[in-house]
Amino acid sequence: MVLSTRVRMARNLDKWTFTHWSKKEVLKELGEKIKEVVLGTKLLGDGLLINMDDLSEMERMMLAERRLISQKMVRLFQNRSLIVSKDEGLGVMINEEDHLRLYATDAGLSVKKVFSKVNSLDDQLDKKLNYAFSERFGYLTACPTNVGTGLRVSTLVHLPGLVLNNDIRQVIDGMRHVRLSVRGTYGEGSEVIGNFFQISNSITLGLSEVETVENMEMHIRKVLEFEKKARNRLMKEAHTLLEDKVYRSFGVLKNARIINSKEAMKLISDVRMGVGLKILSDIKLSNLNEMLTRLQPIHLQNFSGKAMTPEERDIARADLIRSVLS
């Protein structure tokens, strides 16, 4: 039910102006300094350094679709860099909104493990870099919403049971009540499609990092319990209806020749639920999750080896899905 967990920390260096205030030369000097330190750590010593100035827009969009850089970094790329581990599970964006954005990701619900990875990197960097830190506020960040821990824990969860059961509204209200924010798959302002929800902490002040992590894990586990109950109830009370829904979506995914991304996500959502409920076997959840990444426009273009119109993309998307499912 949890596709991935992601933890990121926003950090800035003392005495240096924030990125959006800095002149080119300053960004350049600061970038070089940070890169050297990051590549000097044990954790990212063998990481891949990618300077955004060396990439085409398409290549930057590709990195954004893989969530290795932000959408903001696709547009504002000069003197920006990424250092990322080979397994893509640990990385640092340099000169993004903050001087450093450390992040770690992993499949499934593993908030503590993912936090400890990024926390270890933070500890190593802390020894070499002079972080902007206030005894009163904590870490200082370019945007006030990050001040304090600078910590954002997000999980991408799949809640079709609660949506079908019409309990999702109540669950979302509950999460907002405990200061979690709930969004669509593609972050802030994005629409919820295919019952995929991104849940993250919305406050960074007044709580320690460890408290944030533990809180998050506890609340997500509660939501997952609700989802499980909803699915069990549906299996009991509407088994054939559920089966019908899952199999129809599977049949369309396996056969369509033209499919837009919204419909694809909805159908994949049904199939994922079917795998979770053991209605469908022989399909790996990891394949479906990977498919969600590969279906994005630039990945798709890459799969087809050429630039495409939206109509051509709908055809390529259907081709890709069939090739993954067969």
Q: Does the protein bind a copy of itself through residue 323 (CB under 8 A)?
A: no
Residue 200 is classified by DSSP as E
Positions 298 through 317 that interact with a copy of itself (CB under 8 A): 315
Measured from the CB atom, the residue of 47 and 274 that comes closer to a copy of itself is 274
CB of 22 to a copy of itself, least distance (A): 50
Count of beta carbons in the 10 Å neighbourhood of residue 284:
10
Q: Does the protein bind a copy of itself through residue 241 (CB under 8 A)?
A: yes
Residue 186 is classified by DSSP as T
Q: Of 106-114, 174-182, 213-221, 243-251, which part binds a copy of itself (CB under 8 A)?
A: 243-251
Q: Does the protein bind a copy of itself through residue 318 (CB under 8 A)?
A: yes
Query: What is the residue type of 116?
Result: S
239-246: long-range contacts, CB 8 A cutoff, minimum separation 24: 242/164, 242/277, 242/279, 243/274, 243/279, 245/270, 246/270, 246/271, 246/273, 246/274, 246/277, 246/279, 246/280
CB of 314 to a copy of itself, least distance (A): 9
Q: Of 27-35, 52-60, 217-225, 245-253, which part binds a copy of itself (CB under 8 A)?
A: 245-253
Measured from the CB atom, the residue of 244 and 290 that comes closer to a copy of itself is 244
Please tell me the count of residues contacting a copy of itself according to CB under 8 A. 17
Nearest-angstrom CA–CA distance, 326 and 307: 25
CB of 255 to a copy of itself, least distance (A): 3
- Sheet holding 180-183: strands in order across? 48-51, 81-84, 90-94, 100-107, 2-11, 151-158, 196-201, 180-183
Ranges of beta strands (E only) in 121-193 are 133-134, 138-139, 151-158, 180-183
**Sole binder of a copy of itself in the list 35, 67, 228, 254 (CB under 8 A):** 254
Positions 258 through 277 that interact with a copy of itself (CB under 8 A): 258
The tokens describing 251, both together, are: 């049949």
**Sole binder of a copy of itself in the list 40, 144, 187, 251 (CB under 8 A):** 251
Q: Does the protein bind a copy of itself through residue 283 (CB under 8 A)?
A: no
Compute CA distances 173 → 25, 30, 158, 179, whole Å. Answer: 47, 42, 17, 10
Q: Does the protein bind a copy of itself through residue 39 (CB under 8 A)?
A: no
Measured from the CB atom, the residue of 86 and 257 that comes closer to a copy of itself is 257
Contact set with a copy of itself (CB under 8 A): 240-241, 243-244, 247-248, 250-258, 315, 318
